[in-house]
Structure 1
Amino acid sequence: MATFGLIGYPLSHSFSRGYFTEKFQQLGLDDTHKYLNFELTNINQFKKILDEYSDLVGCNVTIPHKRAIMAVLDEVDPVAERIGAVNTILVRDRRTYGYNTDYLGFRDDLVHRMAEQGFSFARGRAALILGTGGASLAVAEAFRSLGVPYTFVSRKPAVGQLSYGAVTAEVLATHTLLVNTTPLGMYPRVDAAPDINYELLGPAHFCYDLIYNPAETTFMQRARGAGAQAANGLGMLHQQAEASWAIWTGE
C-alpha cells in the first residue's frame, strides 16, 4: 500500500492527514493509499520511518522540523534551499528529495483571493511582510516569483528591514500588500495582532493572514474596519497540499 505521512511534533491536530485521507476516498484510492502521522521528537528518527515503511512515497513536514529535515535528505530543491525550509519530501528508489510548496500555496492563493476581490498585481505595487520567521521566507520567495518588491517588518529590524513603528502613511502609500507571517492572533490568543497603525489602511490595501484559525483574525478585522480587503491562510493550506500531491504523483 502506498504510504504517505506528516512529520512533526506534536501532531495533536493534523490538517494533512484528514485532507489526504478524504482525497484518497474521493479518488477511489483508499484501498491502496494511506496517510499516517509520524510524531518525531528528533529528526534523526526519520531514517527509522524509511526503514519501517518500504512503501513510503512522500511526506509533508511541519513544525518544528522544516529546517532540520534538510540535513537528512539526499537532495534539496534549489528553491527550498533558498527558502531554508522543506515541507514536502518525495521518496523514490530509497532516495529522498526535499521541496517547499508553502511558497506555491501562498502565491497561488494570494493571486486567487486578490482577483476575487478586484485586486491585481499592478505596476508599482509592493508588499510588507510582517515577521521574519521561517514562514516569512516562503512568502518572500512567492513575491520574488511574482516580481513584487517586498520589505520585511520586524520588532528587531536588521539592515534593510523596517520596525513596526516605521510603517508610516508614506510607506503604506506604495506598499499596498500586507502579509502577517507571525503567530499573532492565532487561537487561543485571538485578540493579538501585528502592531501597525490600522487607521492608515484603506481600500487600496490587501491584507493576507497566514493564520486560518480563527477564520477571521484580529488583523483581518482591523484591516477591514479601515476599508481594506483581507483573506486568511486556509486556501494556502489547500494549495500547498495539492502542490505536494503533484510532486508525489509527477502530475
Structure 2
Amino acid sequence: MVAINKKRFGLLGKNISYSFSRGYFKEKFESGDYEGCSYENFDITEIELFPEIVKENQPEIKGINVTIPYKEVVIPYLDKLSKKAAKIGAVNTIKFTKKGKLKGYNTDYYGFKKSLEPLLQSHHKKALILGTGGASKGVAFALSELGIDYIFVSRGNKENTIDYSQLNEEFFNEYHIIINSTPVGTSPNIEASPAIPYDFFSKKHIAYDLIYNPAETQFLKNAKAKGAQTKNGLSMLEYQAEKSWEIWNK
C-alpha cells in the first residue's frame, strides 16, 4: 500500500470560525484530485503563539494564509518576504520552503486588483480607502499599479490620511471609488456601517467592500440607494486564494 503524502494548509487569525478560506479549500480538495491535502484554522489569541504552531505542524504544513489581525505583526516571524510583500508591508500568504524556511507573500493586492479592474471607467481616477489596517495596504498597492490616486480615511493622524469628519461633498465629487477595508459591517454586526456621508454617492461612484459576509453590507446598501455601482469582497478572496495555492505549489 502506497503511503499518501500529507499536505496541510491553514489560516492564521483570531476569532476566525466564520472564515472563508477553510470552506473554500475544503470544497476545492473534495472536488478534485487533492489526496492527502487538508486545510484548518489556526485560531490564536496573540501572535506570540505562532512559532508554536509552526513547530507542532512541521514537516506536513506547506502553507498558511494570514488574516486579521496578524497581517503585519507576523512579518518579524518570517525568514524572508517577496518583493511585493516587502513593499506593501503586510502578508496574507506564507509558504514553507523545501528547506523549512518561511517566506511571506501578499496575494490580497492581486485579488483586489483583479476584481476591481472590470468595473473601472475613464473617470475612476481617485479612491478613498476607509481604514488603515493590514488589508488597506494591499488595496493601496493595487490602486498604485492601476494608476489610481488614493488617500486613506481614518481616525488616526497618519500620512496621506484624512479624518472621517473631513469627508464632504467636495471629496465625493473628486474621489469616485470608495473602498471599505475596515471590519465594520461584518456579520453578526450587519447593521453597522462606516460613518461617512452616503448622500454624496452617485452613479459615477464605485462602492467596494472587502467584507463578503453579509453579501450586501449596510455600506453597500447605502451606496446602492444613491445609484453607485457596488461590489463585495468575495471574488477578491477567491482570486487571492487561488494565487496562494499557486505559490504553495510552485
Settle same-fold status: TM greater than 0.5.
yes
Provide the secondary structure at the position in 1 that maps to 2:191.
coil
Matched, 1:97 2:110: no
Q: C-alpha distance in 1, partners of 2:8/2:32?
A: 15
Work out whether residues 169 and 200 of structure 1, in 8 Å CA contact, stay in contact via their aligned partners in 2.
yes
Q: C-alpha distance in 1, partners of 2:194/2:15?
A: 26
Q: C-alpha distance in 1, partners of 2:124/2:179?
A: 17
Work out whether residues 3 and 33 of structure 1, in 8 Å CA contact, stay in contact via their aligned partners in 2.
yes
Letter in 2 for 1:40: I
Provide the secondary structure at the position in 2 that maps to 1:98.
strand
Moved more, 162-171 or 16-25: 162-171
Moved more, 42-51 or 201-210: 42-51
**Residue of structure 2 in register with 1:188 after alignment:** 188
Work out whether residues 124 and 174 of structure 1, in 8 Å CA contact, stay in contact via their aligned partners in 2.
no
Moved more, 102-111 or 43-52: 43-52
Q: C-alpha distance in 2, partners of 1:110/1:124?
A: 11
Letter in 1 for 2:117: V
The within-5 A match list for 1:110-125 is 110-112=116-118, 114=119, 119-120=120-121, 122=122, 125=125
After TM superposition, the score normalised by the length of structure 2 is 0.89
**Residue of structure 1 in register with 2:232 after alignment:** 232
Over 3 Å counting, the alpha-carbon distance change for 1:61 and 1:214 in structure 2 is: same
Please state how far the C-alpha of 1:49 moved relative to its aligned partner: 3.4
| Gaps in structure 2 of 5+ consecutive residues | 1-5
Provide the secondary structure at the position in 2 that maps to 1:68.
coil
The within-5 A match list for 1:125-140 is 125-140=125-140
Q: C-alpha distance in 1, partners of 2:55/2:160?
A: 46
Moved more, 141-150 or 181-190: 181-190
Provide the secondary structure at the position in 1 that maps to 2:142.
helix
Over 3 Å counting, the alpha-carbon distance change for 1:51 and 1:187 in structure 2 is: closer
Provide the secondary structure at the position in 1 that maps to 2:162.
coil
The within-5 A match list for 1:1-251 is 1-29=6-34, 31-52=35-56, 53-92=58-97, 93-112=99-118, 114=119, 119-120=120-121, 122=122, 125-250=125-250
Over 3 Å counting, the alpha-carbon distance change for 1:42 and 1:170 in structure 2 is: closer
What is the aligned length?
243
Provide the secondary structure at the position in 1 that maps to 2:69.
coil
Over 3 Å counting, the alpha-carbon distance change for 1:225 and 1:103 in structure 2 is: same
Provide the secondary structure at the position in 2 that maps to 1:10.
coil
Work out whether residues 44 and 72 of structure 1, in 8 Å CA contact, stay in contact via their aligned partners in 2.
no
Q: C-alpha distance in 2, partners of 1:158/1:64?
A: 19
Moved more, 229-238 or 193-202: 193-202
Task: Extract structure 1 runs of 4+ deviating beyond 6 A.
Answer: none
Kindly provide the CA deviation profile for residues 124-169 of structure 1, in whole angstroms up to 9, marking residues without a partner as x: 6111111222221111111111111101112344353222232222
Letter in 2 for 1:222: N
Over 3 Å counting, the alpha-carbon distance change for 1:167 and 1:69 in structure 2 is: same
CA RMSD in angstroms comes to 1.9
| Gaps in structure 1 of 5+ consecutive residues | none
Letter in 2 for 1:43: I
